[in-house]
Structure 1
């Protein structure tokens, strides 16, 4: 377990330095391909709602078993060969599970297009990191979408996997990531996924329940450290953290809105359909492109604070 903790620290450092390696076939893409393949063959349009839910359960069982079972077997084999071999493999896995730098890099692509007043380019850039329709967004809408995805993925892409790795090593991290990937692919409330994706969505709500709230509190702490409005961040966190259909998504969005003194969320279009949503935060000032930079500053601050706290707590547990 001490080696798993060291692997988390080393993997975090690699993620900050390198990010997701371009040109390599990322294991999470393999998980996504597996989900896509199973969904294609198991989610039949002619099936009844009850059968679709059963198939969703079955798909989730297969995906979770393979996505966490294979890494577990590889880790057991590597540690059996030699502890250093196991440490190297687990470090690589932790690096692949964390997404701090890639989240910053992708959102900064949006920022650079906005600074050039390239609205079409910024819409395309933000479409790579959000699930909503982006063709009708103006510059404010594009900026809000980018800031919101940094806020939400601070939990889903960084703090939650870090939390599970700290508890049970890369094996538990991959189990979480498989659930989260299913949620991002099939948990839509439309005709195709309403019943088939219900179980993956429910599992994701459970898996993120504690991490999302921890992420919100850790983000409040980090907002003080990176000199944003920590007091307002905490106030909006307490007031607006349930202003979302998901019980978890608004936890970090509320902190982000408060820390930046802006209003986020609100109505959005998905697959050509308008979804009515509550707003998060107070409209103290207009959203601007620089808020993407500030959001990433808070992302990095939260990631570092979380790593320090998680590793310290786990180390003290292991010592005693």
Structure 2
């Protein structure tokens, strides 16, 4: 019950104040741990061979094993350290444990940050500052942005808010409702390892394979739960809930990731626009399927609509899953 209260309090603190940038974020510590562990493990298992490791080489298997070891270490520490500190705080005083866990839940949820960063893109577009909008959107997407049109910038911002509704907001919320801040930090560690190591290039094809696959596993159920709640939220936001359901059923698998298109498809349907399509990464064009139907052109206001959709989705999930956990707590 204390973890439930801390999770709810953390959610509303994030809604009111956003990410506390004045304090060193725990996820940055996780990132430093990943970088440190990668350097050490690569030294142990890699030989400097021209052309890189082959699929069946001993080095490729060693790299894959090293990535798995790093995942276990980072995920384990990200869970056990917060858990130990909360146990210690509980022994000192329950109020201290509640305050500490509330603050951590506040840091783990990234809803306000996501809205704020996408809002900067919206503001630049409304000021007809396309170069500024390209720069702003480059802060939240991985694709090349220097040649994007107004439509391209808008689509990129809408897509990243839609996709990260699950990764950055509702998935950590679900894990925190299940296991408090320690499980929330474990999820953030899994997500951070995927963002740092889960690339299909020469450097990370083998080393990042296990982190990438396990990120898919951890997000598989949350992304689908989020999509269902987002469809409900689209009705509450005055968007096209019927079309959101139709596009979700049709396009939810149109992505290389098994999870990314779940919420993106709902968002495209709710807004009645077409998202995704080809994108440029590091100067190379990657072919992608379109998601949704172009029933109307994408416009900058869609960035704000997607932000509202994200918040209503998260709020609905907090109410429903919070009520379920509260009821189970009483029964048990």
Deviation at 1:115, TM superposition (A): 1.1
Query: Which of the residues 238, 245, 250 maps onto 1:239?
Result: 250
Match of 2:56 in 1: none
Conserved 8 A contact 1:45-1:192: no
What are the Cα deviations for residues 179-206 of structure 1, in whole angstroms up to 9, with x where unaligned?
A: 0111111111111111111111101000
- Distance of aligned partners of 1:267 and 1:40 in 2 relative to their CA distance in 1, 3 Å threshold: farther
Q: 1:92 aligns with which of 71, 90, 103?
A: 103
Q: Tell me the distance in 2 between the aligned counterparts of 1:171 and 1:204.
A: 17
Distance 1:41 1:104 in 2: 37
After TM superposition, give the deviation of residue 45 of structure 1 in Å. Answer: 7.4
Q: How far apart are the structure 1 equivalents of 2:41 and 2:276?
A: 34
- Further displaced range: 213-222 or 31-40: 31-40
Aligned pair count reads 319
Q: Within 2, Cα distance between the matches of 1:45 and 1:175?
A: 31
**Is 2:121 the partner of 1:110?**
yes
Question: 1:37-52 alignment to 2 at 5 Å?
Answer: 37-43=36-42, 44=46, 46=48, 48-52=59-63
Displacement, 1:127? 1.1
| Range 166-175 or range 210-219, more displaced | 166-175
Of stretches 255-264 and 63-72 in structure 1, the one that deviates more from structure 2 is: 63-72
Following superposition, the deviation at residue 295 of structure 1 comes to 0.5
Shift of 1:114: 1.0
Q: 1:257·1:280 contact (CA, 8 Å) conserved in 2?
A: yes
Partner residue in 1 for 2:211: 200
Find the counterpart in structure 2 of residue 214 from structure 1: 225
Mark the runs of 5 or more structure 2 residues left unpaired by the alignment: 54-58
* Contact 1:213–1:251 (8 Å) recurs in 2: yes
Aligned to 1:255: 266
Could you tell me whether the CA contact under 8 Å between 1:111 and 1:290 is conserved in 2?
yes
CA distance in 2: counterparts of 1:273 and 1:65, whole angstroms: 37
Q: Which residue of 1 aligns with 2:19?
A: 20
Hey, what's the Cα distance between the residues in 1 that align with 2:40 and 2:68?
A: 14
TM-score, L = length of structure 2? 0.94
Deviation at 1:42, TM superposition (A): 3.1
The answer to whether the Cα contact below 8 Å between 1:68 and 1:174 also exists between their aligned partners in 2 is yes
Cα RMSD (Å)? 1.2
Q: Provide, for residues 95-133 of structure 1, a one-character-per-residue CA deviation record: whole Å limited to 9, x for no partner.
A: 011011110000000111111121221111111111112
Q: What CA distance in whole angstroms lies between the structure 1 residues aligned with 2:281 and 2:328?
A: 45
Cα deviation for residue 40 of structure 1 reads 3.4
**1:267-313 deviations in whole A, cap 9, x for unaligned?**
11222222111111001111111110111110111111111011011
C-alpha spacing 1:42/1:121, structure 2 compared with 1 (3 Å)? farther
Mapped to 1, the partners of 2:135 and 2:37 lie a distance apart of 29
Q: Which of these residues, 58, 65, 68, is aligned with residue 54 of structure 1?
A: 65
1:34 corresponds to? 33
Shift of 1:53: 0.7
Aligned partners of 1:262, 1:87: CA distance in 2, in Å? 43
Matches within 5 A, 1:155-304: 155-304=166-315
Could you say which residue in structure 1 is the equivalent of 2:157?
Answer: 146
| Structure 1 pair 315–111 and aligned structure 2 pair: CA distance change class (3 A) | same
**Match of 1:219, SS?**
helix
Matched, 1:305 2:316: yes
- Displacement of 1:178 in angstroms is 0.4
* CA distance in structure 1 between the partners assigned to 2:281 and 2:74 by the alignment: 26
CA shift in 2, pair 1:187/1:314, >3 Å: same
